[in-house]
Amino acid sequence: MARHLVTSALPYINGIKHLGNMVGSMLPADVYSRYLRQRGHDVLYICATDEHGTPAELAAQEAGLPVDQFCTQAHDAQRAVYDGFELAFDYFGRSSSQQNMEITQHFARKLNENGFIEERAIRQVYSPADGRFLPDRYVEGTCPHCGYDKARGDQCENCTRVLDPTDLIGPRSAISGSTELEVRETKHLFLLQSKLQHEVEEWIDAVSAEWPQLSSSIARKWLTEGLHDRAITRDLDWGVPVPADTWPELAAEGKVFYVWFDAPIEYIGATKEWADVAPDGESRDWKSWWYEADDDVRYTQFMAKDNVPFHTVMFPATELGLREPWKKVDFVKGFNWLTYYGGKFSTSQKRGVFTDAALEVLPGDYWRYFLIASAPESDDSSFTWEHFTATVNKDLADTLGNFVNRVLSFSRKRFGDEVPAGHAAGEAEAKLGEEIARLLAEYEEQMEALQFRKAAAALRALWSAGNSYLEEKAPWLEIKTDPDAAALTLRTAMNLIHLYAIVSEPLIPASAAAMRGAFALAGDTATWVTSEQVKALDIVPAGTAFTVPPVLFLKITEEDLESYRARFGGAGNA
């Protein structure tokens, strides 16, 4: 079995993330990691909060806290939300860690030794009202490309174009709002990406053939436009310090590395954090995943499209420039936007459903299933409360939840608290087994291909097959003339419930555990099911004690829907 290294885009520390952030990175990475673990692979899923840069300083200032204290509190708050969604990270680290600082400084030194870093005097925006140089994100204005009037000095949130503060029309300080800005000279370190363009192109040509079109097209667009040398330091109080042993003058001025430089390195830093916090007696080798990694390590990254350039072009350029054997990504799963009634989710503008509020409304499994079933893979997809309600009610409540409740409640009422025996399996059961095996193979194929919407559709088809079987056999009628026939139908349906519990676990882990826990099945440790087991549908034998779990999924009523619209806004508020 291959070893799978999985990372998802690091969530910024400046506040709880919205559903678009969840579906564009962490959730699909979690679903994929869970699936791989169930299939017997060795998986390491790494994520972390991205804690450096302007967003952290601005958010800490708004909260009235020292930035390090703010980051600690915000990290814990984000982690609590991700626990609520049951994201099964192997480690959820922090880019402000000592490990990330040391590795980032090592990267900078090696790039410098290899001739890929240069110190340059540049002209940068200075705000007399604030008494400081303004890093990119501290400058706001109108994007010269699309006219968006809240563009930041590093990137336009609307059109995703990378910018410099001096590109903005009508620039203003994000701290004070002052438009009385000056341009002064200051020194910074530049990564000479232009010298690495050819190597990045060769690497992209070698690895990107199997990438989704979204990921490969963004990478190639950047390469076609040409890689430019880019500053990797900023005038900030919070960040990885420039090492004094290499750049004493800049270190004395308090320069720190720009967040886009150190944040991707945190994937490695967090892996070292994971190794360093290993329980007593357990040895974890982080280097075998990243440095001179074995050929059997397959590295998959998950991120929304605005992060794709940094991870397919800029960070690989950094790794290539090190002249050291660091592991580079094998597969980049890029996502389009999840919109809110056609408008963009926005952390900064607090528009849309945020993950903490989502969990206040309904448990994590409702959201996990809906988001994966609606994942913005081939194009943007829109969140509406109407679509969410219809999906929950039809797929989760009616198709899966009602099947589980009907089968177990009816069997307990008619046959007691043990799985009934009845007749031996017949033609209908053989036909069902073949159909379930076919649908399971489709589900596995889509999961292996990281096609999440199609995987959710295949899982839904598995659930629907059970309902079709139940309607065809109609045990509520069989019981009147042939109780053993009804017992066979119910025993078969209970085996379907157990199968659903296993294969649904990547998408709806809490509900899967409830389904599986309904059966007092000794030695029930299987992580997946074989084709032969699927066709036989006999893992849960007659005589197994069972209980009826609470209703798995409550239907969303019209009153509920109205309350959601009132709280979060509908089409007219997007």
Residue 562's alpha-carbon distances to 309, 358, 370, 567, 568, in angstroms, are: 40, 15, 19, 9, 10
Query: In the beta sheet, which residues pair with residue 402?
Result: none
For residue 45, list its beta bridge partners: 6
Cβ(546)–Cβ(418) below 8 Å:
yes
Element (H, E) at 204: helix 197-207
Cα distances (angstroms) measured from residue 502 to each of 87, 333, 512:
17, 25, 7
End-to-end C-alpha distance for the chain, whole angstroms: 46
Q: How many CA atoms lie within 13 A of 19 on its CB side?
A: 29
**Three-state DSSP state, 46:** strand
Going by C-beta distance under 8 Å and a sequence separation of 6 or more, which residues neighbour residue 474?
Answer: none
How far is the C-alpha of 253 from the C-alpha of 255, rounded, in Å?
Answer: 6
Listed residue (219, 332, 212) closest to 267, CA to CA: 332
Distance of alpha carbon 532 from alpha carbon 257, whole angstroms: 56
CA dihedral 422, 428, 430, 433 (to 10 degrees): -100
Q: Is 47 annotated as a binding residue?
A: no
Residue with tokens 């969410």, as numbered in its chain: 388
| 146 marked ligand binding residue | yes
The one-letter code for the residue type at 84 is G
Among 119, 139, 117, 137, smallest CA distance to 127 is for 139
337, 400, 470 from 464: Cα distances, Å: 29, 8, 10
Query: DSSP letters along 271-340, please?
Result: HHHHHHTPPTT----THHHHBS--TTEEEEEEEEGGGHHIIIIIHHHHHHHHTS-B---SEEEEE-PEEE
Are 70 and 56 in contact by the 8 Å Cβ rule? The answer is yes
Q: Is 143 flagged in the annotation as binding?
A: yes
In the numeric block, the tokens 């899966």 are attached to: 400
Q: Which of 470, 480, 484 is nearest to 423 (CA)?
A: 484
Q: Supply angle C-alpha 385, 387, 388, rounded to 5.
A: 60
Q: Which residues are annotated as a binding site?
A: 143, 146, 156, 159, 347
Q: Which residues are annotated as a binding site for ATP?
A: 347
Q: Which residues are annotated as a binding site for Zn(2+)?
A: 143, 146, 156, 159
